[in-house]
Chains A and B, each alone.
Chain A
Amino acid sequence: MLKAQDLHLTFNPGTPIETQALRGMSLVIPSGQFVTVIGSNGAGKSTFLNAVSGEQKVDSGSIEIDGIDMTRQPVWARARHVARVFQDPLAGTCEDLTIEENMALAKMRGRRRGLSFAVKPALREEFRAQLATLGLGLENRLSDRIGLLSGGQRQAVSLLMAALQPSRLLLLDEHTAALDPRTAAFVLELTVRIVAEHKLTTMMVTHSMRQALDVGQRTVMLHQGRVVLDVSGKEREGMDVHHLLEMFEKVRGEVLDDDKLLLS
């Protein structure tokens, strides 16, 4: 379970380019739930995700995962509980390492790394079997450099890597945004399958309202650094993109009105 409470984060405080990225952002994701997160540019989606992963330190507030306080922990320490797939397909894998070396790295996510060989025969067979499920023929290319793969292939491998080791939370950061539509659909389908298979608690940030409604059990909309809309269950099932858009316009209007009140 992820429990983020009252997160505040301001970039460049005290300067003309001061930006309040998170303003009292709170979100609780119960174990096993798949939540999609949407919001316009600058709404704080990526900042929130980075705050949870540890790449961005928050000014105040607390982040707990399954009751463990993560607020002050560095990225590498949180990795024990948090798996992540990046937006940039090149960011989630090491291009200089082979496919099997990348997977071996992920296999040890958050565990003590010792002096035993990283890729052992039994492990190689496990990786081969996992890769075969992708249907991309990668199971025959274990010792190829991952830099030789296309963005979509690398993103698919990143997803597999995220599930090689149990995690308490899976973070997906617009992980289909940089792919062509067909590959994006493939990677999304793979995401749904892997999340279901491993019953992962998942937070997926997406730029697409369609995608946000199609997958997962709950959709959260961010605006100006906090949650402004939170739908799940029956209400969400009947929703379409235009409903979301209407609600978004309404929310944005209200927020603008709030600002007007403040300014007058």
Chain B
Amino acid sequence: MSLYTLLGALEIGLIFSLVALGVYISFRLLRFPDLTVDGSFPLGGAVAATLIASGTDPFAATVAAMIAGAVAGLITGWLNVRLKIMDLLASILMMIALYSINLRIMGKPNVPLIMEPTVFNILQPEALVDYVFRPLLLVFVVLAVKLLLDGFFATQSGLAIRATGSNARMARAQGVNTGLAVLAGMALSNALVGLAGALFAQTQGGADISMGVGTIVIGLAAVIVGESLLPSRKLYLATIAVIVGAIVYRFFIALALNSDFIGLQAQDLNLVTAVLVTVALVVPKLRQHWSGKKGG
């Protein structure tokens, strides 16, 4: 594997670590199985790419993509909290609705960003080549997001969201408006996914209607791989685990696809993902099984 492929894997891994953090918030903290992600990732890409292509400042376009993601999450949450639609179904409804919405936003199946400015080429110093600078900038972005999340979930409001996911009845008895907490958590989660989509579009040369397919599986894979590598209930360790999981996952994919002797090709990506997630799900159980035997 060349340095170029390695840095490429790191770059995509870092972008997907934002998705993974979003998925961690919905699936783990709120215990809300949210598939909106498959729609809010391309939504972020579509909003950012369309705005940039029409001459908007890339930073403003990226913020707009986050807001769009947050709104998508809010609607999913609202379908569940107010209209009492089952969480999984509410998110599937939102996901397919977003497919049409994304096509409407872009006006066509894809919006290329070849010559347009992006947050990456605006900030890029002369001394660094783009494929080195992009992962470097992303490391800072991801770390900043991680620290902000750790901080937020230690505040009174953040604690209320975590309590809602952990024990909603208790949270209500403590005066937490649990419906509102779900909405806030879903908005935050999908804002991160929208951000990831916007950054993805700006590193991959544009947005495409199919860029969201399987985002949720990749996000979950990252969470699960991270949790089996660094099992911890402490939030600041869990967020690190999720980020590491996303990067490790991407390295495995790159390794699998770039090793000629295995003979895998790009179209095998989803199969590799499924196998990897299965392994990551089974390993902790086996570990428990073995340690249980030793103990008994």
Q: A95-B167, A97-B162 are in contact. Are A76 and B176 (CB under 8 A)?
A: yes
Q: Which residues of A contact B (CB under 8 A)?
A: 53, 55, 74-77, 79-80, 84, 86, 91-97, 101, 104-106, 108-111, 113-119, 145
Q: Are A117 and B155 in contact (CB under 8 A)?
A: yes
Q: Which residues of B have CB within 8 Å of A96?
A: 162, 165-166, 233
Q: Are A118 and B154 in contact (CB under 8 A)?
A: yes
Q: By DSSP majority rule, is chain A's interface helix, strand, loop, or mixed?
A: loop
B151-192 residues at the A interface, CB under 8 angstroms: 152, 154-160, 162-163, 165-167, 169-178
Q: Are B156 and A93 in contact (CB under 8 A)?
A: no
Q: Are B166 and A114 in contact (CB under 8 A)?
A: no
**Residues 249-272 of chain B: 1 if any A CB is under 8 Å from the residue's CB, otherwise 0?**
000000000000000000000000
Q: Which residues of B contact A (CB under 8 A)?
A: 152, 154-160, 162-163, 165-167, 169-178, 233
Q: Which residues of B have CB within 8 Å of A93?
A: 167, 170
A-B contacts, 28 of them at CB < 8 A, read A55-B169, A74-B177, A79-B174, A79-B175, A79-B176, A86-B170, A91-B170, A92-B170, A92-B173, A93-B170, A94-B163, A96-B166, A97-B166, A104-B156, A104-B159, A105-B163, A106-B174, A108-B156, A108-B174, A110-B174, A113-B156, A113-B176, A114-B155, A115-B155, A116-B155, A117-B155, A118-B156, A145-B233
Q: Which residues of B have CB within 8 Å of A79?
A: 172-176
Q: Are A97 and B176 in contact (CB under 8 A)?
A: no
Question: Among A91, A95, A110, A115, which residue has its beta carbon within 8 angstroms of that of B175?
Answer: A110
Q: Are B174 and A109 in contact (CB under 8 A)?
A: yes
Question: Among A76, A97, A113, which residue has its beta carbon within 8 angstroms of that of B172?
Answer: A76
Q: How far is the CB of A111 from chain B (nearest CB, A)?
A: 7
Q: How far is the CB of A87 from chain B (nearest CB, A)?
A: 12
Find the A residue at minimum CB distance from B158: A118
Find the B residue at minimum CB distance from A110: B175
Q: Which residues of B have CB within 8 Å of A118?
A: 154-156, 158-159
New contact pairs (10) apart from A86-B169, A108-B174, A111-B175, CB-CB < 8 Å: A75-B173, A76-B177, A79-B174, A91-B170, A105-B159, A105-B171, A114-B155, A117-B155, A118-B155, A118-B158
